Chain A
Amino acid sequence: MVTDSDLLIRCRRRDSDAWNQLVSRYERLVYTVALRNGLSAEDAADVTQATFVALIDALDRLRDDEKLASWLMTVARRQAWRSRNLSRRTTSLDNTPEESSDPFADWATTTALHDALSTLGGTCRDLLLALYFEPETPSYAEIAERFGRSIGGIGPLRGRCLDKLRVIMGEEA
């Protein structure tokens, strides 16, 4: 399995393929964080791009390559706040939305979960994302087809993956 650290090392050597893999791994997560912070689709896309540009900027200064997921989520959240504040300055008072409550009641847990999923990596990470993080939960048949496995094999694999994730989160706690 190619880890985030491996990809970051390659990105520091200007490897575009490694960059594309990182983008594939995290673009939905960053975009979702931006959306969940109250932005329109257009603004969320802009914040997502700003977050990945910030990653390029910070490649040589990242403190912990293993925590890339939470780093991206935190930067996206800050960028989203900035974008919202900017929007408020240019929106008439009549159209200013009410202050919304924090969409992440337990931000630390959410970021720790995604860092643990990154550490888990590989098929297990992809499977758990497909089973638990899709807005419309796909059926086992769809999942089995997507992962090239039998329907009967998905349940046991899911159990093993979750158990591994639990161990990782226990170690990182």
Chain B
Amino acid sequence: MSTARPSFTELVDWLDGRLATEAAEDVASYVAVGDPATLESVEWILEFVSGAASMPLQQRPPELGLRLRGVFDQLHRPRQGRDWSDAALLHDTRSQVGVAGVRSLGDGGVHLAFDSELGRFVLDATASGVGEVDVQGLVMLPSGVGGLDLAFLERGDLRRAVRSTPDGRFDARGVPVGVDELWLTSGPTRVRALLDLRS
């Protein structure tokens, strides 16, 4: 039996079955003696291999990679180009003017309804802190569209970004009350809505 303590690399190779027979027998003999430092290394390696094997990394769909890389510019880039359209305000609880059937908030919050190229959408803004509101909303997306990305901006700077659920719901917490613009993006379709969230 070898009396030399195996190196960490030798232990890794031994556990992986990559050592020649004689070298493997030497390492096995040393481990069998029970040297605490060696046993600790063996235990760590086995735990690492087990932990890694418990969650192998899957390849994402190619188009997802493009979306993920594009979303950063999409949420920050100043509004430009001809592929934007403006949302039309249908109802604002503060003005008391709007289409029938749109409810009002009784707690001093803001309820807004818009029509847009992406479909109608509504949002409720309720005070959540000094100078902040929580915004919850719903975009009536056609089926199969999937989620969309929303950006809340204040004087052109991104303040909050969220992705809606596939059924169009979104929830943005702690939105600065000074936010004055909302962008909604779904694929190539981009919509801009002017906002006033002050009660």
Closest to A105 in B: B54
Cβ B71 vs Cβ A159 within 8 A: no
Cβ contact within 8 Å between A28 and B60: yes
Which residues in chain A, 102-145, are within 8 Å of chain B measured between CB atoms? 104-106, 109-110, 113, 128-129, 132-135
Complex: chain A residue closest to B63, CB-CB: A45
The distance from the CB of B51 to the nearest CB of chain A, in whole angstroms, is: 5
Whether the pair A155, B64 counts as a contact (CB closer than 8 A) is: no
Structural contact, A82 and B65, CB atoms closer than 8 A: no
Query: A155 CA to B23 CA in the complex, in Å?
Result: 15
Q: Does A70 contact B (CB under 8 A)?
A: no
Are the CB atoms of B60 and A56 closer together than 8 Å? no
Among A19, A133, A158, A163, the residue within 8 A (CB) of B56 is A133
Quick one: which of B10, B55, B65, B147 contacts A23, CB cutoff 8 A? B65
Residue of A nearest to B11 (CB): A159
Question: B55 and A36: CB pair below 8 A?
Answer: yes
A78 at the interface (CB under 8 A from B): no
- Residue A74 CB within 8 A of the other chain: no
B60 touches A49 (CB 8 A): no
> Which residues of the partner chain A approach B45 to less than 8 Å between Cβ atoms?
162
The answer to whether B149 and A32 touch across the interface, beta carbons within 8 angstroms, is no
Q: Does B13 contact A (CB under 8 A)?
A: yes
Q: Which residue of A lies closest to B165 (CB)?
A: A86
- Inter-subunit contact B12/A158 (CB<8 Å): yes
- Nearest A residue (CB) for B44: A166
Is A41 in contact with B147, judged by CB distance below 8 angstroms? no
What separation, in Å, do the CA atoms of A56 and B67 have in the docked complex? Answer: 14
Q: Are B60 and A31 in contact (CB under 8 A)?
A: yes
Interface size on B, residues (CB 8 A): 44
C-alpha gap A41/B41 in the complex (Å):
38
Find the A residue at minimum CB distance from B60. A31
Residues of A within 8 A of B22 (CB): none
Contacts of A19 in B (CB 8 A): 69, 72
Complex partner residue of A53 from B51, B53, B56, B71, CB under 8 angstroms: B71
A83–B165 touching, CB < 8 Å: yes
- Once A53-B71, A57-B160, A57-B161 are accepted as A-B contacts, the answer to whether A159 and B12 lie under 8 Å apart by CB is yes
The answer for the CA separation of A156 and B10 in the assembled complex, in Å, is 9
Q: Is A46 in contact with B68, judged by CB distance below 8 angstroms?
A: no
Alpha-carbon distance A120/B117, docked complex (angstroms): 47
Q: Nearest residue in B to A31 (C-beta to C-beta)?
A: B60
In the assembly, what is the distance between CA of A31 and CA of B147, in Å?
A: 16
Instruction: Return the contact of A31 from the options B12, B64, B165 (Cβ within 8 A).
Output: B64
Please determine whether A110 and B51 come into contact, CB atoms closer than 8 angstroms.
yes
In this assembly, does A14 line the interface, its C-beta being within 8 Å of a C-beta of chain B?
Answer: yes
Q: Are A155 and B67 in contact (CB under 8 A)?
A: no
Please, which residues of chain B bring their CB within 8 A of the CB of A66? none
28 contacts between A and B (CB under 8 A): A16-B73, A27-B60, A27-B65, A28-B58, A28-B60, A31-B64, A36-B55, A43-B166, A45-B60, A45-B64, A46-B147, A57-B160, A83-B166, A86-B167, A90-B167, A113-B52, A128-B52, A132-B48, A132-B53, A133-B52, A133-B55, A159-B7, A159-B8, A159-B9, A159-B12, A162-B45, A162-B48, A166-B8
Given contacts A53-B75, A155-B18, A163-B8, 12 further A-B contacts (CB under 8 A): A27-B65, A36-B55, A49-B163, A50-B162, A54-B162, A57-B160, A83-B165, A109-B51, A132-B53, A133-B57, A134-B57, A135-B56
